[in-house]
Amino acid sequence: MERTGAQIIWECLVHEGVQTVFGYPGGAIMPAYDALLDYPIHHVLVRHEQGAAHMADGYARVSGRVGVAIATSGPGATNLVTGIATAMMDSSPIVCITGQVNSKLIGYDAFQEVDITGITLPITKHNYLVTDVRELTHVLREAFYIARSGRRGPVLVDIAKDVQQALLRDWEYDDRPIQMTGYRPDKSPLTADLQRAAGMIHEAKRPVILAGQGVLLSGAMEELREFAEKTQTPVAMTLLGIGCFPASHPLNLGMMGMHGEAWVNNAIQQSDLLLAMGMRFDDRVTGKLETYATQARKIHFEIDPSEVNKNVRVDSALIGNLRDTLGKLSAHIEACDHADWNDQITDMKGDSAVRDILNLPDNGHLYAAHVLNDLHRHTHGEAVVVSDVGQNQMWAAQYYKHDQPYTYITTGGLGTMGFALPAAIGAKFARPEANVWAIVGDGGFQMTQSELSTAAQEGIKVNIAIINNGYLGMVRQWQEFFFDKRYSATPLRNPDFVKLAEAHSLTGIRVTKRSEVETAVNQAETAEGTVIVEFCVEKEDSVYPMVPNGADLQNMIQRPVRAQEER
């Protein structure tokens, strides 16, 4: 067959099973866009290339498949950078395809030329510059293989315009297995390491499992549940690990870390064994490293050897795919009884529970915690929730409980404001039957609100809950706690979000009282197309508990009881 480079791009994507791509055309990628019309791939026209990367990311996290974003050269490519860095920090498999100026012009500052492979070198798992059409098929196949194998991550393929226009005679798709010198993603723990870890597990009296996103990425949810039940070990989750272990399970402790539950952090600090599964001991999880779980031995289940001993020194490391590792470890594990330890953790919950805002009566004030709790109740906990960054993110993590995996999507490592709306659109394309809710702050939403036009043009349905407190909420909270309430550059003058929805021919709803929440949620879910629900919540409410930056994990700022009584 004769194929141009532009046709080869789509031939390869079809062979990889790609059905949807997110992108924005331009001069250097125009040949590829012309060829697209002849292929059965749906293209979603974004309003900003950052949105394309986030949509591909959300698509990948919900579906488990590789998401694809496309952009032109120069500013089109650089607009992808934030989304690529987000995917890199959170191990999300996406492939970004960018156009580049003609190969003979590279290095001469041609119009819209930028060294995008150089720019993205630190924030991609790998990247390529293609200047020969004969290399294109192999490069694209490698890109998808790298993105989805081992520790997943983003790969960028930069393709010169003349490569897209070049004609390759006798082209055929090479479907032989990919083999790359020096890249060995399929690692497996040694039997001796498994036996040593089993011995530590059997000796433990106060174990805690720390479950991260690696559980979800490896599909190890069932293996984790079986291990936890067999050993009667309580399970704490990272922010990105939410959903990997059912919230309703009696061994589920909740979220750990800076805004985790108080009893979870206390249990970690009092434990004698931590089993870190698919998590990397991020600073928002550990607090002050010198005082982190000093009584506990630590076993690190990790697919990426470079993460072992990077932040926290561990006593044993089991390198490999978590699902496979847990399957092999189970042969060395006997049933354990930790009833006393689990009872002790239950007792820890008492003081924390009475401080919870959900115990406040409905006194006319609308709190974000009430919104998320009521949203959980009215959607029966079955929605795919995509949260942005800041207070809205933490309230969503704390008050919307997830029993199913791949139903809480958020940006963890990079903390990218503006992530939620485009990522929710990507999630909806991955799971069109799902009830998708984007939880956003009034600040972060405005960073990518242009993607409302994308949702409207595509005719898809995403429900958007704007937690409007008139501030950049999390920054304001830090200013309240640590800067004597000097609110520098955090108050927001917002647009009328209901009218904004109407400007896009979408539905807009405003809620100012808790009694209105259920009606608004029902209206949003029954309306056609994307809906904005603006929740006008208390302006100076804060997320509790909170571990101050650099503090000991157990030294949390709790919601003041006096403040509750005053309200």
* Angle between helix 322-329 and 221-231 (nearest 10): 30
Q: What is the structure's pLDDT at 564?
A: 45
> d(Cα 420, Cα 439) in Å, to the nearest integer?
7
User: Amino acid identity of 187?
Assistant: K
CATH number of 3-168: 3.40.50.970
Is residue 455 classed as helix, strand or coil in its secondary structure? helix
Over pLDDT 90: what percentage of the chain? Answer: 94
For the chain, domain boundaries: 3-168, 191-349, 352-549
Q: CA-CA distances (angstroms) from residue 417 to 61, 239, 514, 538? A: 18, 16, 26, 21
Question: For residue 524, is it left (φ>0), alpha (ψ between -120 and 50) or beta?
Answer: alpha
Overall average pLDDT of the 355-380 stretch = 85
Residues in the chain, overall count: 567
Q: Residue 160 pLDDT more than 60? A: yes
SS3 sequence, 135-190? HHHHHHHHHHHHHHCCCCCCEEEEEEHHHHHCEECCCCCCCCCCCCCCCCCCCCCC
pLDDT at 424: 98
- The two beta strands, 3-4 and 167-168, are antiparallel
- H/E segment holding residue 409: strand 408-409
Predicted pLDDT of residue 363: 78
Tell me: pLDDT of 567 over 60: no
Q: Could you report the per-residue pLDDT of 449-459, keeping only the tens digit for each?
A: 999 999 999 99
Q: Which of 19, 112, 404, 564 is catalytic?
A: 112
Maximum pairwise Cα distance, the chain: 78
Average pLDDT over residues 319-343: 97
111 is catalytic: yes
Q: Classify residue 301 by burial, with Cβ atoms within 10 Å: 0-12, 13-18, 19+.
A: buried
Catalytic option among 1, 111, 382, 485: 111
8 A C-beta contact, residue 230 and residue 297? no
Mean pLDDT along residues 293-314: 97
pTM of the entire predicted model: 0.96
Residue 562, pLDDT score: 47
Q: Which residues pair with 159 in a beta bridge?
A: 99, 130
Using DSSP's 3-state secondary structure scheme, residue 319 falls into strand
How confident is residue 352, by pLDDT bands cut at 50, 70 and 90? low
Q: Catalytic residue at 195?
A: no
What pLDDT score was predicted for residue 359? Answer: 67
Residue 277 has which token pair?
């599964």
Statement: residue 360 has pLDDT above 70: no
pLDDT classification of 356: cutoffs 50, 70, 90: low
pLDDT at 244: 98
pLDDT in tens, 468-521: 999 999 999 999 999 999 999 999 999 999 999 999 999 999 999 999 999 999
- In three-state secondary structure terms, 100 is strand
CATH architecture of the domain with range 352-549: 3-Layer(aba) Sandwich (3.40)
What value does the mean pLDDT take over residues 439-444? 98
CATH class belonging to 191-349: alpha beta
pLDDT on residue 364 = 81
pLDDT value, residue 561 = 57
Residue 474 is among the residues annotated as catalytic for this protein: yes
Q: What is the pLDDT of residues 544-559, one digit of tens each?
A: 999 999 999 999 998 8
Q: What is the mean pLDDT of the chain?
A: 95
Catalytic residue selected from 7, 11, 22, 49: 49
* Burial class (CB within 10 angstroms; exposed 0-12, middle 13-18, buried 19+) of 2: exposed
Averaged pLDDT for residues 369-394: 96
Sign (positive or negative) of CA dihedral 207, 208, 211, 214: negative
Active-site residue among 11, 50, 113, 161? 161
Element holding 464 (H helix, E strand): strand 463-468
pLDDT in tens, 25-74: 999 999 999 999 999 999 999 999 999 999 999 999 999 999 999 999 99
Asked whether residue 566 carries a pLDDT value surpassing 70, the answer given is: no
Contacts of 297 (CB under 8 A, 6+ apart): 200, 204, 272, 273, 274, 315, 316
pLDDT of residue 239: 98
* Least confident span in 89-98, 176-185, 386-395: 176-185
pLDDT at 362: 73
Query: What's the whole-number mean pLDDT along residues 439-451?
Result: 98
Q: What is the pLDDT of residue 520?
A: 98
Tell me: pLDDT of 229 over 50: yes
Predicted confidence (pLDDT) at residue 351 exceeds the cutoff of 90: no
The region, left, alpha or beta by phi > 0 then psi within -120 to 50, assigned to residue 150 is left
> Would residue 125 show up in a list of annotated catalytic residues for this protein?
no
Tell me whether the CATH fold assigned to 191-349 matches the one assigned to 352-549.
yes
Active site residue 556: no
User: Is pLDDT above 90 for 527?
Assistant: yes
The pLDDT tens digits for 385-422 are 999 999 999 999 999 999 999 999 999 999 999 999 99
If residue 421 lies in a helix (H) or strand (E), which one and from where to where? helix 420-430
Among candidate residues 255, 474, 546, 556, the one labeled active-site is 474
Band the pLDDT of 338: cuts 50, 70, 90.
very high
Q: Six-digit token pair at 500?
A: 């904004």
Backbone angles phi, psi at 445, to 5 degrees: -60, -40
